[in-house]
Amino acid sequence: MDLIESLKIKNNTKLLLIVLDGLGGLPVDNGRTELELAHTPNLDKLAKVSALGMHIPVDYGITPGSGPGHLGIFGYDPIKYQIGRGILEALGLGLEVKDTDIAVRGNYATVEESNGRIIVKDRRAGRISTEENIRLTQKLSSAIKSIGDVQVILSPGMEHRFAMILRFPEPLPEGSDDLPDTDPQKEGLEPILPQGEGVAKVVREFLSKAREVLKDEPRANYVLLRGFSKKPKIESFEERFGLRACAIAVYPMYRGLASLVGMEVYKAESLKDQINLLKDLWEEYDYFFFHIKKTDSYGEDGNWKGKVQVIEEFDSLLPEFLSLKPHVLVITGDHSTPSVLRGHSWHPVPVLLHSPYVLGGTSQRFTERECLKGELGIFPAKKLINLMLAHALRLSKFGA
């Protein structure tokens, strides 16, 4: 039990964490960042009376994926709690993961048989279309519902990608997420079959059945598997912080990440829809994780104008959040996604924390440069929950 956990107390405060995915940026136009270019009268006003700063998602210079990015701002050390690739893929495709699951990422592939040996000709089956993928995954799903007493759950992704869950009866066999990838990484080689009993045996049987089902497909006649992983053991949000927490997100990956720390998850179709859900759920929870995806998507596309637009749309909706009068409101990102880099980056992420107990008055706007002047300084993302709990008066004094 760490210090925070030992000091937590309960009260009736509401904590709202709004994550604009990939929020942080770099200069894109005339030396100004996306946040600086956006017209944000509501954020500007709030920034003037809030505690500002920057968080470092994982460590100096480390570019986080979505998993570590979110674990950090949820208050979990992202280096201590690592989420396997298979688990993340499964969550991203909307699959629920349980304690006895092995999750894995799959590729449809093209293979040739010669002298009884299987040789990989194309590791991505010519990048088949997503529609083709959906058809194939349905075909596999109906043909292979289980291997012995292990349930097989498949979900199609984009192009040649899919996720698979092998759901074991309790308990999961030992060392079961230690399997090597079956993907040989190079064309012209044989797939690598895992050796041994337990999960390995189930995987070999699945591969043999899948080969049988897909045999006559012109391109996607086999599957390659990577990133075998099990659900990480993470103490729940309520247990650690004493908060009944929920997540409201459009994209499955973020609901999945929230579910890993025990938040209850709610699906919405749009930002408007999310806000309505937030209002409906307001009395039921203590802590709300509200995820907005598009800032990251446009950043990844290098479309800074799109990113600016999403920030402005959020700004126009800010009064709706404020009308709920959260005791502690935090607006931040899980990492930076500067449009100029067209991807996630290591740069610290702007943070705005509003509560009755801030100094305020340090900054004019909610931008990277103005946040650097703020009272929170540059701090590790995993400490954000400490600050949120403190400002909600949910931590007792340490020592007499």
What is the contact surface with a second copy in residues (CB under 8 A)?
3-4, 7, 26-27, 31, 33, 54, 58-68, 78-79, 82-83, 85, 88-89, 338, 340-341, 343-348, 356-362, 368-369, 372-375, 377-379, 383, 385-391, 395-400
Q: What is the smallest separation between the CB atom of 368 and a second copy, expressed in angstroms? A: 6
CB of 218 to a second copy, least distance (A): 31
Distance, in Å, from the CA atom of 65 to the CA atom of 78, rounded to the nearest integer, reads 10
Question: What letter does residue 307 receive in the DSSP assignment?
Answer: H
Cα torsion angle, 80, 335, 356, 290, sign: negative
- Measured between alpha carbons, how far is 36 from 38 in angstroms, rounded to an integer? 6
- CB nearer a second copy, residue 150 or residue 395: 395
CA nearest 22: which of 354, 351, 332, 388? 332
Minimum gap (Å) between residue 5 Cβ and a second copy: 12
Nearer Cβ to a second copy, position 54 or 154? 54
Nearer to a second copy, 136 or 261 (CB): 261
Cβ atoms of 181 and 105 within 8 Å: the answer is no
Q: State the minimum distance, in angstroms, from the CB of residue 77 to a second copy.
A: 12
- Name the 3-class secondary structure at 100: coil
Q: Which is nearer to a second copy, 20 or 271 (CB)?
A: 20
- Residue 43, classed as helix, strand or coil, is helix
3-state SS, 149-218, equals CEEEEEEECCCCEEEEEEECCCCCCCCCCCCCCCCCCCCCCCCCCCCCCCHHHHHHHHHHHHHHHHCCCC
254, 18 contact by CB (below 8 A)? no
Cβ 63 to a second copy shortest distance, Å: 5
Instruction: Report residue 207 as tokens.
Output: 């591969």
Q: Which is nearer to a second copy, 28 or 331 (CB)?
A: 28
Token reading at 249: 């997100």
The nearer residue to a second copy, 333 or 348, going by C-beta atoms, is: 348
Helices (H), 75-120: 85-92
Eight-class DSSP state of 83 = -
The residue (of 249 and 392) whose beta carbon lies closer to a second copy is 392
What is the full DSSP assignment across 357-385? T----S-SSSSHHHHTTSTTEEEEGGGHH
CB of 31: closest distance to a second copy in angstroms?
Answer: 6
Q: Which is nearer to a second copy, 54 or 277 (CB)?
A: 54
Least distance CB 93 / a second copy (angstroms) = 13
For a second copy, which is the closer residue by CB, 194 or 227?
A: 227
| Distance of closest approach, residue 66 Cβ to a second copy, in angstroms | 7
Supply the minimum distance, in Å, between the C-beta of residue 388 and a second copy.
8
Structure token pair of residue 38: 């956006």
CB of 260 to a second copy, least distance (A): 13
| 32-69 burial: b if 16+ Cβ within 10 Å, else e | bbbbbbbebebbbbbbbebbbbbbbbbeeeebbbbbbb
Residue placing its CB nearer to a second copy in the complex, 219 or 344 = 344
